[in-house]
Amino acid sequence: MPRSRKLSRFDVESQRDGFVMTIEDDRGETLEIVADRDQLELIADTLDDLLAEDDDADTVNGDSDDDED
């Protein structure tokens, strides 16, 4: 199984025929992926859901960011 790499940079650019996502890892290797709007919306929705679950878990565990003030 390949070793997981850390995300170093992420960028999305709009182009005439869709969007180009550029992902760079901690070794400086890059991957460019062309995606359409529906695919980007799916990625965004999935990330939103995961982050919302993480926020809910933080709140239940008493780790809410609101407590820092």
C-alpha to C-alpha distances, 9 to 27, 29, 31, 53, 62, nearest whole angstrom:
11, 10, 11, 24, 31
pTM over 0.75: no
Q: How does pLDDT run across 6-64, given as a tens digit for each residue? A: 999 999 999 998 999 999 999 999 999 999 999 999 999 999 999 998 776 766 566 65
With the C-alpha atoms ordered 53, 12, 24, 42, is the resulting torsion angle positive or negative? positive
| Of 40, 41, 20, nearest in space to 32 by CA | 20
Under a CB-based contact definition with an 8 Å cutoff, are residues 23 and 10 in contact?
yes
